[in-house]
Copies of this chain bind each other. A is one copy, B any other.
């Protein structure tokens, strides 16, 4: 085949691939790629995808989870000019090149307009608190262990007070620099799940460490240290000093990200 003919072949179209990803964050320095030599989930995925696709890959992730934070439904997208294999094979090939604590749960061709971070309408996180006295060693990296008595009911009632559009500066990282700290929480629920208490929170976006601070605040209310209206004080004063401690990263898991359905089609 001569070069003239090759030039006339129809170009393989650029594809935009949406990946749903699960990982245990314990041994990674968070999601986001950093300096070389720092082990991150994003870099592991980019290297694996690059090997499968045969070109350097840059991933857009929906959320930058911190070191030790897990994901059951992180989302990322890849634009690739070079996609000629069935997506199911792509997913399997990717998983074969990833360590066991990172898994691609699904891969789909989506709209060229889909962007994992900018297109996201809502994200859901879960915080797990393990409440039995004897530790569950198999879940040690996945739960915060607190066994001095917690009322899930009190926590659930307080959680409702967070729902809505509020200035969440009081629940942000103390050194938060952003001007705009108004966010919308769409749902916040607390349930007893056997020997654990789970906090589920869905929002359009979150400030740095907001979910862990919110969980620490609900814990203080659940153990009876504060009343439920503490939430209103934090929202009114916007003062981090009123909120509870930042709970450890390991209890937190990014559960899912919601997108407009029209962007999820090729």
CB of A47 within 8 A of chain B? no
CB of A100 within 8 A of chain B? yes
**Is there an interface contact between B24 and A140, defined as CB atoms closer than 8 Å?**
yes
* Chain B minimum-CB-distance residue to A98: B135
CB of A153 within 8 A of chain B? no
In the complex with contacts A100-B145, A145-B100, A92-B133 CB distance below 8 A = yes
CB of A101 within 8 A of chain B? yes
Q: Given B23, B24, B92, B137, which contacts A103 in the complex, CB threshold below 8 Å?
A: B137
**Is there an interface contact between B137 and A100, defined as CB atoms closer than 8 Å?**
yes
**Is there an interface contact between B22 and A137, defined as CB atoms closer than 8 Å?**
yes
Within 8 A of B (CB), among A81-102: 91-92, 95, 98-102
Contacts of A95 in B (CB 8 A): 133-135
- Complex alpha-carbon distance, A98 and B105, angstroms: 35
Contacts of A175 in B (CB 8 A): none
**Is there an interface contact between A23 and B133, defined as CB atoms closer than 8 Å?**
no
Q: Given B91, B104, B140, which contacts A101 in the complex, CB threshold below 8 Å?
A: B140
- Complex alpha-carbon distance, A136 and B95, angstroms: 11
- Complex alpha-carbon distance, A74 and B98, angstroms: 32
Closest 6 CB pairs of A and B: A100-B140, A103-B135, A101-B140, A22-B137, A24-B137, A103-B137
Given A23-B137, A103-B137, 9 other A-B residues pairs in contact with their CB atoms under 8 A: A24-B137, A70-B137, A91-B134, A95-B135, A100-B137, A101-B135, A101-B137, A103-B135, A103-B136
Q: List 21 A-B contacts (CB under 8 A).
A: A22-B137, A22-B138, A23-B137, A24-B137, A70-B137, A70-B138, A91-B134, A92-B133, A95-B133, A95-B134, A95-B135, A98-B135, A100-B137, A100-B141, A101-B137, A101-B140, A102-B135, A103-B134, A103-B135, A104-B134, A105-B134
